[in-house]
Structure 1
């Protein structure tokens, strides 16, 4: 997929959501990680968190069939 073909982008830390987008024709553009540190309770040690970050892209045709908003809907059941 060329950069000019990308119509919509989605970013998620959930591999289930990323796989759902991939199943519906989206392409994986980039995988990285995000990290944060919380030092509010420094006398107990800083809390550090790191999680994956998946960046996905879709052409106009694919995003019309399966829009970004649909990929982030919660399913209960």
Structure 2
């Protein structure tokens, strides 16, 4: 299941980042988004999600959310 299908407020473990785009992988890694890390969707708008990773909150677009497998 990808992050765009996640239930709001539920903590999930990241299983994988599913993309061939190395720049996207590098960006997500810089946010602390990698396998084994807990992630929570805080809110969802039309084409964006606010996620909580470690001690930070980030606004990511739907393409990034679809690349994060939980």
TM range, normalised to the smaller chain? 0.3 to 0.5
Higher helix share: 1
**TM-score with structure 2 length normalisation?**
0.37
**TM-score with structure 1 length normalisation?**
0.34
Q: Which has the larger radius of gyration?
A: 1
